[in-house]
Amino acid sequence: MHQNIKIVLVNTSHPGNIGGAARAMKNMGLADLVLVEPKQFPDPEADSRASGATDILENATVVATLEEAVADCQLVIGTSARERHIPVTLVDPRQAAELVFSDTLKTAFVFGREDRGLTNEELQRCHYHVHIPSVEEFSSLNLGAAVQVIAYELRMQALSLKGGPIVESKWDVPAATAEQLDYMLEHLEKVLGDIEFLDPKAPRQVMTRFRRLYQRSQLDQQEVGMLRGMLTAIEKQTAK
């Protein structure tokens, strides 16, 4: 049921939390765990806290970067411990689960470090940010507990849809993957350099805005093709 959903843990410090996350996932019917540069894994403490969900740990993929972890995903949702001052598309866990089941997109839920969550750059790779509504004065959940809440909402949503109408993709063209979006943005950055649009003193700022815009739009593959076609046409003109 959840074969389209992966849980991504970024730079986890405590192997026990990886085990706790694995257990929470298995309890709720999730199976696909991806670890981005865990500090310590595999580890007996992870096995112990997994408490029988060792198959999830054994099948976990370890990768070096978040880009790699979400490369094949069409919808990337990052957890944010607090409301940040970057304007984003912020949802609560229930809304996030509804989003996931409103379509059949390959989806990643991304969880950050125990002490400081996801970096701004990592959050910018996400289409949505999900905030678990903790109290302000004590807002940071244990990592395994955060995975538990999200996995629980996903299961509640899945169960509520069972027997209901078959959910169909409302879009006729497949959504772009994170990798396709990355390539398009690299192409865009090159062309913006060519046409001297980027501020040489702060080239990243404009690219951050462009990423935010196109990430939010959840581009489909035809749209990515169209934008890249436009970029190629600009290159041809400026090469003349």
Q: Is 156 in the site for a second copy (CB under 8 A)?
A: yes
Interface with a second copy (CB under 8 A), residue total 73
62 phi and psi, to 5 degrees? -110, 125
Out of 116, 190, 204, 209, point to the residue binding a second copy (CB under 8 A). Answer: 209
Q: Please name the residues in contact with 110: beta carbons below 8 A apart, sequence gap of 6 or more.
A: 8, 10, 66, 69, 70, 76, 77, 78, 79, 118, 122, 125, 126
Stretch that binds a second copy, among 36-44, 69-77, 99-107, 136-144 (CB under 8 A): 136-144
* Smaller CB separation from a second copy, 159 or 202: 159
Q: Is 192 in the site for a second copy (CB under 8 A)?
A: yes
* Smaller CB separation from a second copy, 69 or 132: 132
Q: Is 15 in the site for a second copy (CB under 8 A)?
A: no
Residues 82-121 that bind a second copy (CB under 8 A): 83, 85, 87-94
Out of 36, 70, 123, 219, point to the residue binding a second copy (CB under 8 A). Answer: 219
| Distance from chain centroid for Cα 49 | 25
Q: Is 155 in the site for a second copy (CB under 8 A)?
A: yes
Supply the minimum distance, in Å, between the C-beta of residue 159 and a second copy: 6
Q: Is 141 in the site for a second copy (CB under 8 A)?
A: yes
Supply the minimum distance, in Å, between the C-beta of residue 122 and a second copy: 19
Residues 18-47 that bind a second copy (CB under 8 A): 20, 23-24, 26-29
Out of 3, 64, 163, 170, point to the residue binding a second copy (CB under 8 A). Answer: 170
Q: Is 161 in the site for a second copy (CB under 8 A)?
A: no
Q: Is 144 in the site for a second copy (CB under 8 A)?
A: yes
* Smaller CB separation from a second copy, 55 or 65: 55
Among candidates 11, 26, 20, which has minimal Cα distance to 46? 20
Residues 61-80 that bind a second copy (CB under 8 A): none
Instruction: Give the Cα separation of 158 and 100 in Å (integer).
Output: 10
